[in-house]
């Protein structure tokens, strides 16, 4: 049985510069309950503890968001995204536990699962449901990805989410990846982005090859070109008691040339704003700048380097 996780008001925060409002949370919780969504994720686009001037300041605190959601969710479980280094156990995880968060998804770059060890083990010790999540998986050799999933399993994670953060996977990549990972013996999930228009196809390929958790958002509302659209997936592959008759009014994301370029060069969508601004400021071709950033294998959190690299390219031209 496949379980759909609705990440609209977590990943969708990227699309609105993290300005999630109390009214949006209320309306989405009411939608999730009415539609029979099993799990809904909430928070800043980069997870709990991530709100900052550097990454993006949220309108509401994590505690305010979680508390509000718990007031409206009765049957739908609540999950949060956690990146060690941005979120700490004492400041961020303990309050979330006390507020009744049901599922914690501990995320790291696809080659850095060891960063999640203490957070996963702590949550296991607190008898919480905890998943691992590996970001930027299209940049990782499959044998390495296997090893990283095995690490998260050894820490006590009950599932691992494979995140195509760059929207670079093709269905054949997903098939090969999940065929191999399914041998490990842990529940697997897939988190798709639609940079190349393949989020639905990739999600269906993941299901066919062993995924039991699929991340999706209403209308694909999310970072860059958006995520796997929830309403399409639940129509093509119905699961459980989900019954979507209407959806909240979120803007349909548009796939732009920059989204295609970042997918081609395996860059996270969070670089979009910095690339566009730096290209204009330093009179550097967007295509050449994206290619250079891809060659340097930049990862999310290194947005400031875009301006430095664009400046260097301008001086050399």
Blockwise average pLDDT, block size 10, the chain, 317 residues: 96 92 96 97 96 90 97 97 96 98 98 98 98 97 98 98 97 98 98 98 98 98 94 94 91 93 93 94 95 91 90 89
Supply the pLDDT for residue 282: 95
Q: Which residues pair with 4 in a beta bridge?
A: 214
Architecture of domain 257-316: Orthogonal Bundle (1.10)
Supply the pLDDT for residue 311: 94
Q: Which residues pair with 77 in a beta bridge?
A: 39
Cα distance between residue 159 and residue 162, in whole Å:
10
Query: Domain extents for the chain?
Result: 3-236, 257-316
Contacts of 127 (CB under 8 A, 6+ apart): none
Cα distance between residue 246 and residue 251, in whole Å:
14
DSSP 8-state class, residue 92: I
Encoded tokens for 55 = 């990454």
- Would residue 156 be called left, alpha or beta, if left means φ above 0 and alpha means ψ between -120 and 50 degrees? left
Supply the pLDDT for residue 10: 97
DSSP 8-state class, residue 252: P
Supply the pLDDT for residue 63: 97
Give CA 178 to chain center in angstroms: 18
Residue whose tokens read 């990227």: 14
pLDDT digits (tens, 9 = 90+) for 184-193: 999 999 999 9
Residues assigned a catalytic role? 14
Whether the Cβ atoms of residue 38 and residue 3 lie closer than 8 Å to each other: yes
Q: Which superfamily does CATH assign the domain made up of 3-236 to?
A: Aldolase class I (3.20.20.70)
Supply the pLDDT for residue 241: 87
Cα distance between residue 206 and residue 305, in whole Å:
34
State the first-to-last Cα distance of the chain, in angstroms, to the nearest integer. Answer: 55
Which residue, 75, 55, 61, 49, is CA-closest to 25? Answer: 61
């Amino acid at each position: 049985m496949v379980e759909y996780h609705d990440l609209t008001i977590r990943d969708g925060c990227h699309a609105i510069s993290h300005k999630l409002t109390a009214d949006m949370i209320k309306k989405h919780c009411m939608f999730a309950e009415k539609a029979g969504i099993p799990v809904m994720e909430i928070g800043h686009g980069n997870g709990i503890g991530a709100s900052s001037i550097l990454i993006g300041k949220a309108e509401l605190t994590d505690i305010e968001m979680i508390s509000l959601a718990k007031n409206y969710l009765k049957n739908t479980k609540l999950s949060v995204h956690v990146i060690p280094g941005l979120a700490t156990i004492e400041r961020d995880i303990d309050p979330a536990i006390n507020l009744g968060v049901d599922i914690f998804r501990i995320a790291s770059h696809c080659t850095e699962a060891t960063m999640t060890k203490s957070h996963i083990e702590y949550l296991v010790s607190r008898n919480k449901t905890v998943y691992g999540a590996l970001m930027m998986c299209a940049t990782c050799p499959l044998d390495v990805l296997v090893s990283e999933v095995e690490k998260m399993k050894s820490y006590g994670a009950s599932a691992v989410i494979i995140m195509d953060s760059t929207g670079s996977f093709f269905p054949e990549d997903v098939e090969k990846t999940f065929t191999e990972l399914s041998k490990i013996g842990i529940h697997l999930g897939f988190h798709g982005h639609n940079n190349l228009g393949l989020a639905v196809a990739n999600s269906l390929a993941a299901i066919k090859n062993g995924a039991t958790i699929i991340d999706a958002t209403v209308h694909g509302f999310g970072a860059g070109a958006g995520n796997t659209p929830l309403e399409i997936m639940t129509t093509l592959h119905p699961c459980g008691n989900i019954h979507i008759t209407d959806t909240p009014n979120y803007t349909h994301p548009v796939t732009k040339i920059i989204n295609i370029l970042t997918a081609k060069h395996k860059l996270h969508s969070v670089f979009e704003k910095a690339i566009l601004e730096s290209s204009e400021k330093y009179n550097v071709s967007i295509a050449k700048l994206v290619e250079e950033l891809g060659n340097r294998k930049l990862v999310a959190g290194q947005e400031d380097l875009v301006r430095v690299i664009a400046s260097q390219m301008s001086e050399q031209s």
